[in-house]
Chain A
Amino acid sequence: MLVSHPLGASIRMLFSPYRSIIVGEKVEEIDVFSVEIIENSIISYKKHMEVRNADWDNKEDYQLIDNELLESTLKSLNSNSCESCI
């Protein structure tokens, strides 16, 4: 089960060599919605990266943003979520 969305919020973030995704621990049954999002995200990523290269020149900045977005996501999970939702 997906907790955070695999894609960023802009096409520029697809150039990022890093993307942290949070997934759930308690897998009891397949979450169809998550599967659909994962598949769509993979198709979308592949489509874009056919004509692009990951931007390693700015890897430290991408690390920073990936970390900031991850922290922001974790913070919202801590303040908003019940344990069983994750």
Chain B
Amino acid sequence: MKLELRRIHIKDIQFGDKLAVENGVLTVNKEDLIEKLKEDERIKDIKVDIARPGEKVRIIPVKDVIEPRVKIEGAGNGFPGASTKIAQLGDGKVNVLYGAAVVTVGDIVGFQEGVVDMWGEGAKWTPFSKTYNLVVDITPVEGLDPHTHEATVRLAGLKAAEFIGEAGRKVEPDEVLTYEMESNALETKKYPDLPKVLYVEMLISQGLLHDGYIYGVNSQLILPTLIHPNEELDGAVISGNCVAACDKITTYQHQNNSVILDLYAQHGKTINFLGVILTPELTTLEGKFRTCDYTAKLCKTLGADGVIVSEEGYGNPDSDLVMICKRLENAGIKTALITDECSGRDGMSQPLTDTASEAVAVVSTGNVSHVVTLPPADKVIGNAESIATLAGGWDGALLEDGTLMCELNAVIGATSEIGYHNCTVKLY
């Protein structure tokens, strides 16, 4: 498969009469976008706003972030299986509005978190403070059941990203990134001496607001499955999960999965990258055994020498992470885990709910319990009342002047377990 991600560098977003990109400025006709999204009769109201890096703007509660793109060559524009007709992804040319993002806001449940601050302390912690954000606030018609409500908001975000992406169709890109990998057999012939490495990406797959989708299929319904890394980079995996703000993998992060990009960068140099296994994180123990056994079996069958495993969420998925690690290490496959930590305010407690002596290589992407102080915003896009919820769940504080003390847990993408975020590790 060969995929070209052709980046058009976006330096600003403006509202205007037409949809276009000129000299790096993305112009969006707000009314046209609203009209397009309201074609879905389940949507009552749409508000569209712009949030730029550096502005004293807070977006809350964020449901998903999506990178606007358009496929100019090859099958499958948009998100096949989810928002467009099914197609085989992974081949072709995609024009990417790089630096822009569609951010969806939608109150599905009152306790939902998800802050993006575009300035100051908050901006340091989320990768989406650096993107020019087109914020789409979706209000559905009354009386929708929660599943339909969630699906409506999810779909509206994908549709908005497709609609905006069209602006880049005829624009020459500023840079072109090419991702090409042939069959495992051919790659292994090319690089016979390099260790074969698989990437296992775990997805929360547990029910309402706790699901990831692959080609539109709820990952709760699948056995662990092998996909070509290009498919994920091309939009095969999307997020329907919006409770775990700091470590949910947004659709944007799937489209730009850092683990995939880093493994690609090493492919043919230090490793032979075999592909991606998507593994659901289920709630039943039987389900966990089934998926963990199956994941390990796939890794063994494909002849992996090493496996990188990334988690999504915290709590019961820790069991899956540790179980997969045990099975792989016991099969002689070197395994590295990527996870965030819930290690208390001081960072001193045990970071995960489960442990195993086999887990000898673990990368931490940050402590979700770290407390940050976020000053009040000049403007709140979304639901300002959600801010009180963030402070209300613990003995933290919403101070009189509007300053909010909350855990990193509430900040979108703050401790991304696929490494698409701002925290880093220093060696002492």
Residue total for B at the interface (Cβ-Cβ under 8 A): 50
The answer, among A10, A22, A62, for a CB contact under 8 Å with B313, is A10
Contact B283 A73 (CB under 8 A): yes
Residues facing A in B193-239 (CB within 8 A) are 204, 206-210, 220
**B81 CB, min distance to chain A CBs, angstroms:** 21
User: A58-B111, A68-B208, A69-B210 given as contacts; is B409 within 8 A of A12 (CB)?
Assistant: yes
Contact A10 B243 (CB under 8 A): yes
How many angstroms between the C-alpha atoms of A22 and B368 in the bound complex? 28
Contact B319 A9 (CB under 8 A): no
- Give the residues in chain A near B209, CB-CB below 8 Å: 65
Contact A5 B207 (CB under 8 A): no
Q: Which residue on chain B has the smallest CB distance to residue A33?
A: B285
Contact A44 B243 (CB under 8 A): no
Asked if B314 CB lies within 8 Å of chain A CBs, one says yes
Residues facing B in A48-66 (CB within 8 A) are 48, 51-53, 55, 57-58, 60-62, 64-65
How many angstroms between the C-alpha atoms of A11 and B113 in the bound complex? 11
**A23 CB, min distance to chain B CBs, angstroms:** 11
Contact A55 B353 (CB under 8 A): no
The answer, among A3, A64, A85, for a CB contact under 8 Å with B109, is A64
How many angstroms between the C-alpha atoms of A33 and B272 in the bound complex? 36
Q: Which residue on chain B has the smallest CB distance to residue A60?
A: B110
Contact A72 B243 (CB under 8 A): no
Q: Which residue on chain A has the smallest CB distance to residue B245?
A: A12
User: A47-B349, A51-B394 given as contacts; is B283 within 8 A of A11 (CB)?
Assistant: no
User: A12-B244, A12-B409, A72-B207 given as contacts; is B389 within 8 A of A51 (CB)?
Assistant: no
Contact mask for chain B residues 340-366; partner A; CB cutoff 8 A; 1 contact, 0 none: 001011000110011000000000000
Residue pairs across A and B with CB atoms within 8 Å: the count is 147
Contact A9 B285 (CB under 8 A): no
Contact A9 B344 (CB under 8 A): no
Contact A64 B243 (CB under 8 A): no
Asked if B317 CB lies within 8 Å of chain A CBs, one says yes
How many angstroms between the C-alpha atoms of A8 and B319 in the bound complex? 11
Asked if B247 CB lies within 8 Å of chain A CBs, one says yes
Q: Which residue on chain A has the smallest CB distance to residue B284?
A: A4
From DSSP, what is the main secondary structure of chain A's interface residues?
A: helix
- Give the residues in chain B near A60, CB-CB below 8 Å: 110
Q: Which residue on chain A has the smallest CB distance to residue B323?
A: A33
**B368 CB, min distance to chain A CBs, angstroms:** 6
How many angstroms between the C-alpha atoms of A61 and B112 in the bound complex? 10
**A51 CB, min distance to chain B CBs, angstroms:** 6
Residues facing B in A1-42 (CB within 8 A) are 2-15, 22, 33-34, 37, 40-41
How many angstroms between the C-alpha atoms of A74 and B369 in the bound complex? 32
How many angstroms between the C-alpha atoms of A52 and B204 in the bound complex? 24
Contact A15 B342 (CB under 8 A): no
User: A4-B283, A53-B395 given as contacts; is B315 within 8 A of A13 (CB)?
Assistant: yes
Q: Which residue on chain B has the smallest CB distance to residue A54?
A: B393
- Give the residues in chain A near B207, CB-CB below 8 Å: 65, 68-69, 71-73
Contact B220 A72 (CB under 8 A): yes
Asked if B162 CB lies within 8 Å of chain A CBs, one says no
- Give the residues in chain A near B111, CB-CB below 8 Å: 12, 15, 55, 58, 61-62
How many angstroms between the C-alpha atoms of A65 and B244 in the bound complex? 13
Asked if B287 CB lies within 8 Å of chain A CBs, one says yes
**B128 CB, min distance to chain A CBs, angstroms:** 18
**B177 CB, min distance to chain A CBs, angstroms:** 32
Asked if B282 CB lies within 8 Å of chain A CBs, one says yes
**A17 CB, min distance to chain B CBs, angstroms:** 11
Contact mask for chain B residues 352-388; partner A; CB cutoff 8 A; 1 contact, 0 none: 0110000000000000110000000000000000000
19 pairs, CB–CB < 8 Å, chain A vs chain B: A3-B285, A3-B286, A10-B313, A11-B314, A11-B315, A11-B342, A12-B243, A22-B284, A40-B353, A40-B354, A53-B393, A55-B393, A58-B110, A58-B389, A65-B207, A69-B210, A73-B206, A77-B284, A81-B286
Contacts A9-B206, A9-B312, A10-B204 known; list 11 others, CB within 8 Å.
Answer: A3-B285, A5-B315, A15-B393, A33-B285, A53-B394, A55-B111, A65-B207, A65-B243, A72-B206, A76-B283, A76-B287
Residues of B in contact with A (beta carbons under 8 Å apart):
109-111, 113, 146-147, 204, 206-210, 220, 243-245, 247-248, 281-288, 290, 312-317, 319, 342, 344-345, 349-350, 353-354, 368-369, 389, 392-395, 407, 409
Question: Which 5 pairs across A and B sit closest by C-beta, in order of nearness?
Answer: A10-B244, A72-B207, A5-B316, A7-B315, A61-B109
